[in-house]
Amino acid sequence: MSPASTPSKKLVALPSAIGDSTSEEPAGPATALGRLLSRQRHAPDLLAEARHRHGVARRSVSTAEGATREARDAVRVYTNLRREVDPRQVRRLRFVTGFVLTPLLCLIGAAAIVLIVWNLGWSWRIAVPLILAVLAVAVAWRAVARLRQGMSIRPFVLIGAITLVFLTALHVLTTLGSRTVALLSGLGLAALVVGAVTAATWVVEHTESKVVASARRPWRAAEGRRLATVDLASKDEDAAEHAEEVWLSLVEEEARLAVAEGGTAPESWVEDLVAHARRAARPEA
């Protein structure tokens, strides 16, 4: 049975699509590749697929490079703005976190004050919390200003201690029943008020500004695009390499069949043909 009629599981059919029985000299890489493309029915599709995949990968890499530059510019804007607004890098709480915690702590302190003055008349139930709220805001604002200037806040510690004693005494004097219970409950409520104001002041001091938060959003979005485009570019490059390997395996197999038929072409001819086929699969090269 002749080799041409023998069933084969190979991709190509014998004899080689590159070989030329009328010539004793091996064809040049360009000529041999042209014969392969015209005679082998799988070759044009494999070459077109390899070129297409390389084109897609090249565009993906270009997009990823642009996204990387955009992310780099965005992080530079964010970093410079944060250094300008917060030179000591102490405001590490997110704006949303501070925006939620500050009113919550103020509500806790206000509720404790209402409980302290609950036994007073209605007018005092309204007046005392309002007066204390205004004083608390003023003290907290001044404390934050002094902290940001690197100044001592010892006077405000004294103010907090005086407030604690005053609220405790107010609760004891206006509460009927056991003085011990009134003292303990008043001390607890007063400590809750002072603690809430102190905690709210700390939160305000360590919360980033809205300007910094607004600058971080574009950076996060740009970083997300960068990661997505880099991942896509990596997948496209892998697909391009796979398509190129399939194309080169066909070229190498046909070349070695041609060498086996003619017996005159050196091994370097196969390598030159494969290199030429690789360049053909990469139009940008």
Q: How far lies 58's CA from each of 51, 71, 94, 239, 285, in Å?
A: 10, 20, 39, 12, 11
Backbone torsions φ then ψ of 15, nearest 5 degrees: -75, 175
Query: Which residues neighbour 181 within 8 Å (Cβ) at sequence distance 6 or greater?
Result: none
187 Cβ contact list (under 8 Å, min separation 6): 164, 168
Ranges of each domain in the chain: 40-89+239-285, 93-207
Q: Which residues contact 207 (CB under 8 A, 6 or more apart)?
A: 91, 93, 94, 95, 97, 98, 99, 102
Q: Model confidence over 100-140: pLDDT tens digits? A: 999 899 889 888 888 888 887 787 778 888 888 888 888 88
What would the pLDDT profile of 177-224 be if each residue is shown by its tens digit?
Answer: 777 888 888 888 888 888 888 888 889 888 888 888 888 889 999 999
Distances (CA, A) of 229 to 49, 62, 65, 224, 258: 22, 9, 9, 9, 43
With H, G, I as helix, E, B as strand and everything else as coil, classify residue 207.
strand
Does the pLDDT at position 56 exceed 90? yes
* Closest C-alpha among 106, 91, 104 to residue 136: 106
Q: Residues 6 or more apart from 88 whose CB is under 8 A from it?
A: none
Please tell me the pTM assigned to this model: 0.64
pLDDT of residue 161 exceeding 50: yes
Distance from C-alpha of 83 to C-alpha of 85, rounded to nearest angstrom: 6
